[in-house]
Structures are given as C-alpha cells and as structure tokens.
Chains A and B, each alone.
Chain A
C-alpha cells in the first residue's frame, strides 16, 4: 500500500524573490525599471530646478515667432518674416536633399570603386586602394571643409566672367556656369504651365506641388507600365512558340512618345543662367556649400561602400562561378544571375547602414554654412532665441525619426531576402 502525500504546500516567502528562479527575473526587471524611472525623475527634477534658477520655462512657443533671418537655399517659399518652425522645415528639406543626393552618388562611386579594386589592372587597383585608404582614414569633417576650400579657391568667381576679356567662360555651349559660388545649370520651364496646387494652407508646413511635374510623372509611369506589359507578353510568346517578337522599339515608343507630346503641349523649354549684376541669374543654382557637402559625403562614404562591395563579391565562393560556367552561362549572365544576387545579400545591409551614417554626417553641414536642420533649428534659431533645451531636443527627435525610418526599410529588406534555411 502506498500513500501519496501532497508535495509540501509552498507558501510565498520574501526570500523567494531573490532565491527562486521563477521570481528572480521578475525582481531584477522591477528593480531595473524602478532604477530607470528614478534616473529619469532625477534628471527631470534637476532640469526643472536649473531652469527655474535661470528663470526660463520650457516652451515651444518660440517656434511660432518670426525667425528674422534669411536662408539662401530654400526649396519652398520662405523669408525672414516666416516662423522659426518654417525655417526648421526648410532646413529639414535641405537635410533630406543632401542626404538623398549623397546616397545616390556614394552608391554609384562605391560600387565602381569596389569592382575596380578587384580589377587585375595593377595601376587601377592600386589607385583605388589608395583612394579607399585615404578617404577612410581622415575625418569626414576635414574632407568637408577641404572640399569647400577647393571649391572656393580653385574655381573662378563670377567677376571673372565679366568684362571685355573674361578669364573664365561658361561651359557646354554657354549653358552651365561653374563658379566658386556654385554651379548654375539650365532649369526646365513651361510656357503653358498648369500652375501649382497649394497644400496645408498657411501653416508652417505649407508646400506647393507643380501640376506639370505631376502630369509628367503620371505619363511616364503609365508608359512604363504599358512597356512592362509588352515585355511580359513577349516572354509569354517566347515560352509558347519559342520565337521572341522584336519589341524594343515599341517599348521605347510607349514611354517616349507620350512624354514628348506632353512636354510640347506644356511648352517645355530650358532657362539658361545669365550673368546679371553681381551674380548669375536664372537656371538652377547649386550652391557651393551644397556641392562641397555632397561631394565630401559621397567621396567619404563611397570608400566604405567600396569595401562592402568588395567584401560582398569576394564572399561569393568561386565554385558558384565555376558551376555557372559549367552550366554554359556566359560571363555577363553569370554575373547578373549567379554572383550578383548572392553578393547583394551580403552588400545591402551594410550599405543601408552607410546610408544611415551619411544622413547623420550631413549634420556637419554647419561647417560649411549649408542651412540644414542643424544650421537652422539647432543653429541660428537656437542662438537667436536662447532655447537650447527645446531646439536641441527637437533636432534630435527629427534625426531619430529619419534614422528609424531608414532602419525600418533595412529590417523589411533583411526579412525579405533572408535565406530559407532548412
């Protein structure tokens, strides 16, 4: 006969919070949370006390007051009577402009250099190695001020274009002016423009959308869509009959012809820069601060991207290339169908974190006077209003939002290309 005894009924003792592994993790977490909250509370308390001593009160009202200063590069309407908020918004757009431009050129440069570094041409691969080592090992801030100094010191001033015997002339059949104040390029103009549509009324975030641009984009994408349909159809025909119909002229036509018709209907023409008074007028003025920042950021980041690309290509095992050759694939098809898809998987994640770095480094615009968000909100606005706490915190939040959006894209991509492991 066996007697079953109940396991001794456990009563909860305080010591179990520490000794019992079931509760211990709880205890640690709660201690951590309390510690964190205490730290936060301490910081808030200090801040409140200090601000009170300084006679300041945290308030974002200054954002609604007139900024009082001018910004040279403004993508939207702005003058010195606009609000600080508007100035910050213009600055944010400038940050995004240089970040996007920088990412595009850095990628192109980086991929080219990374591939060339693997070239069997001795001079080329050595030059590329020197490039990578030079740019990687010198601070980006130095490159930025250096690029600015090169622009200013070596290019001609607009004055040099003047007079009977100018020492400088415009390039490309008088359409582009390269000066040390920046580069003036022709701008697209529409004589029968559809006008702009205004959004968000009179708020600080108001913006206009050019209907001409919207129409052109719509026509282009419609053409692209039709062109893709034609290609799919051709693929289908090839699969069923074995003959591939010749379609490239048709595909080109469905994109180009409607675009040309619309451009003609809108009265498209180019506005060229002209020297008038102190400066060139007309055309698009890419300021030297933008170009210096853009150039320095892309050259610097390209050195890192080149290393990523090289590592990515070298990570694809040689057996893959040989297997592709054994299957009878031509070298360029081997590259596009076998090596590149595998290399991309290795290249893209670090590439996106380089984009993130580039975007963050664009905050060094302050060194060359490019009016980005650090130059406006955390620069002149902070200085003129004396609202350090609010301005710096707001700037950090904006950068954080940009960075988090980029990392979200990265995570989404990583999720998508993850190898299906068995």
Chain B
C-alpha cells in the first residue's frame, strides 16, 4: 500500500482574518466607509472637525499665562510675530481672576468654609445617591446638614440654626403628645402651632441668650460677598433643597380629590411654568420688597433664592407627579387593603417609591436650575457671567472676550455633564431594580 491519501489528514491551521476586516482598517471599513454615502459623510465631518480645530487651537495655544494685563498679552504676542485681533488668547486674565470666578468676593481667609460646605454636601447626599455603598446611619447627618450649611456659608451664631432645629423637635413632640390624646389632625395642627410660636417669639430670645453665654459663632459673611460659581451653586442647591418639600406638597395637591386644593396647586404650577425665569427674577429684584410688609428687607440674594425656589418647586412638582403616576395602582390598593390612612400610605408606601423613581428627574431639574442661575447677571448680580462684565470693566482687562466666556462655559460644562452622567447611571440602575 502506498502512502497516498487524497484527503488531508491534518487540519489546516487557522488563518488570520483578511486585513481588511480586522484591526484599524477593518474598524474603519465597518464604521466609517461602509457605503458611498457613509464615506462622504465621514469625510465631510472630518473636514468640519479639522476646520473647527484649526481655527481654535492656534488661538488657544498662546504663552500668555503670566501676563498681567491685555496690553502685556499683546506685547508678548507681538514679540512672537503674531499680530491682529484674534492672533492669540490672553490667558493671563484667567490666572488673575480664576479664584474670583469661583468664589466671588468671599473673604479669602474663609475659603475653607464654602469648600467644606460642598464636600459635606456630598457626604450628606451619599445616603440618597449611593444608598448601597454607605452606612445607613449617615442619613442622620443628611438630616442635620440643612442646618449646618447656612451656618457654614453665612456664619453667625451656631445657636440660631440650632434654635430653628429645636422648633421642629418641639413641633414633633407636641404632635406626638396631642395626637395620642386627640386625633391625628388635631395633633398636626397643634404641632404646627407650637413650632410657629417657638420660631416667632421664643427662638430669637433663646438663641440670643445662649449666644451671650456660650458664643459659638463663625464670623458672619454677608450674601453680598457671594459671587461667581459659589453664588450659582448656592442659589441652585438651596433652591432645589427648599423646593423639594414644596414640590411634594404641590404634587400631592395636584393629585388630590379636593377640588379647591387641586385648583390652587394647578394654578400655581401652571403660572410658574408659564412665565420665563427672567420675569420672576425681575419680581425678585424690583417687586418682592413691595410685596413684603413695610420695613422688611431681604437682601437681593435671599430674594433671588426665594423666587428660584418657587420656580423650581413648580418643576419639581411635575417631576414628582411623574414619579407618582409611574407607581403601579397595585401599590395604592395594597396600602388601602392594609387599612393605612392617606398620610400613612403616603409616608410608608407611596412616597419612598415615588421619590426614588423621581431622582433622575430631580437631578435634571437641578441641572436646569443651575444653568439658569446665569440669568441673575441680568439683574446685576455677579455670578460668573456677571463677573465677566465686571472683569472687563477693569482697565487692565478691558477688551477680553473669548477667554472668559470659554472658561465660564467650561466650568458649567464640567458640573452639568458630570451630573447628567450620574443621573443616567442612576436611571439605568433604577430600571433594572424595577423589572
């Protein structure tokens, strides 16, 4: 027998895939040049990118970081043989003013206070935002944070926020005692009245007395000193914080069967959502003092925060209403069948779930409000955009345009982009949790 076979006895070794379908070329073929139309589109977009980058990069790369005035920038660029209006950026203005763009006029020896405030904000939000990664006990810190934050930012005596906190404790205790003896509603009213009486008449005296005995106080910083990104963040965070409970109440009111309550809530929400924020800010800057009792005088930043709160409360109400609507009817019926009354059902069953679903919506409301805080520059507050005008009014930087706008845009972009990414992550997480 000869050793001849007509069939291969050994396997062919595996071959490399053709060069045109793997690696860079393959990727380009399938993603960029899969058809005529796609190729043209790809080339056109690359040309577009090139155009934009070739316009911006030569301008942006400019050794002017150390300049102390626009004239000096022009000299440096002149020395490099770069002439003309758009020959190069003048980054000196950013070096000179970036701290101001972040902190406004906040006294520099107290910079640690706003920084600490916003670090603690993350700690306080952690139980809500990253519920599975932090100890649940931290929620107690979240509860105290709203009292800590104004104290850190504005300073003054620690006893004032503590006295305000005491009002809630008193109200809660009275509520507990009365509702045991009488009905729940009577307890609620008694608790409210007790708290209000405390705040109106007693809190001031008590905190004043305590301050004179044990003066636990930080140097107070007036709202005027707030500016730049600190102002935007303060307005955004405080307004969103305030608007959350108001939004919950409005959302419940809008869903309720009580005709008058519903009409009032719908009227408020639709009114606020129907007018531009700028008109509300004009109300804050020109009218709010007229609406208040004669003699009251809130400073402009407080007034802006008030109007921003009302504004975001209306949007918040709609977000929470969406959360309520997304809950299956079975949850409501389940609560009913357990014999829970309205408030019990809301507190134990409905709200925890509805608020959880609403978090992404709340985050995007916050992003929207945060971006909208730039509007306060129109009424003369020095937020980053307002500051850019003030900086340009300095003789040294008169004539600067793009560098400031670019820097401010970048600041906002970093904040908003990271928040929107977080909200998307959360949305995905919540979705899987629900199925």
Contacts and interface: CB of A to CB of B under 8 A. Distances in A.
Interface of A: 18-19, 24-25, 28-30, 32-33, 36, 43, 46-47, 49-51, 53, 119-124, 127, 133-134, 136-142, 145-146, 149, 153, 360-361, 363-364, 366-367, 374, 378, 382, 388-389, 392, 395-396, 399-400, 403-404, 407
Contacts of A388: 282, 286-287, 290
B183 interface: yes
A361 to B, nearest CB: 7
B260 A29 contact: yes
B32 A400 contact: no
Nearest to B265: A32
Interface string B260-290: 1100100000110111111100110011011
B34 interface: yes
9 contacts: A120-B38, A124-B45, A137-B416, A360-B275, A361-B276, A392-B283, A395-B279, A403-B275, A404-B274
Contacts of B32: 121-123
Given A28-B261, A139-B412, A133 B417 contact: yes
Contacts of B339: none
Contacts of B289: 50
What 7 A-B pairs have minimum CB-CB distances, sorted nearest first? Answer: A403-B274, A137-B416, A122-B31, A360-B276, A363-B276, A139-B371, A388-B286
Interface stretch (B13-21, B160-168, B401-409): B401-409
Given A139-B374, A363-B278, A389-B290, A121 B408 contact: no
Contacts of B413: 134, 137-138
Contact of A121 (B31, B277, B377): B31
Interface stretch (B200-208, B216-224, B291-299): B291-299
A138 B258 contact: no
Interface string B396-435: 0000011001001100110011001000000000000000
B344 interface: no
B401 A124 contact: no
B94 to A, nearest CB: 16
Nearest to B278: A363
Contact of B264 (A32, A137, A145, A382): A32
Contacts of B375: 141, 364
Contacts of A50: 289-292, 294
Interface string B178-203: 00000101100000000000000000
A134 B41 CA distance: 21
A127 B47 CA distance: 12
Interface of B: 27, 31-32, 34, 38, 41-42, 45-46, 48-49, 85-86, 183, 185-186, 257-261, 264, 270-271, 273-279, 282-283, 286-287, 289-294, 367, 371-372, 374-375, 377-378, 385, 401-402, 405, 408-409, 412-413, 416-417, 420
Majority SS at the chain A contact face:
helix
A332 to B, nearest CB: 14
B401 A153 contact: yes
Given A29-B259, A142-B405, A47 B291 contact: yes
Contacts of B271: 400
Contacts of A382: 286
Contacts of A32: 258, 260-261, 264
A136 B258 CA distance: 39
Given A120-B31, A142-B409, A392-B282, A53 B294 contact: yes
Contact of A400 (B274, B372, B378, B417): B274
Contacts of A396: 275, 279, 283
Nearest to A137: B416
Nearest to B85: A153
A43 B408 CA distance: 39
B384 to A, nearest CB: 9
B258 A28 contact: yes
Contacts of B290: 46-47, 50-51, 388-389
Nearest to A51: B290
Contacts of A123: 31-32, 41-42, 45-46, 49
Contacts of B372: 139
B278 A374 contact: yes
A46, A137, A382: residue with the most chain B Cβ atoms closer than 10 Å: A137
A122 B274 CA distance: 40
A403 B282 CA distance: 19
Nearest to A140: B371
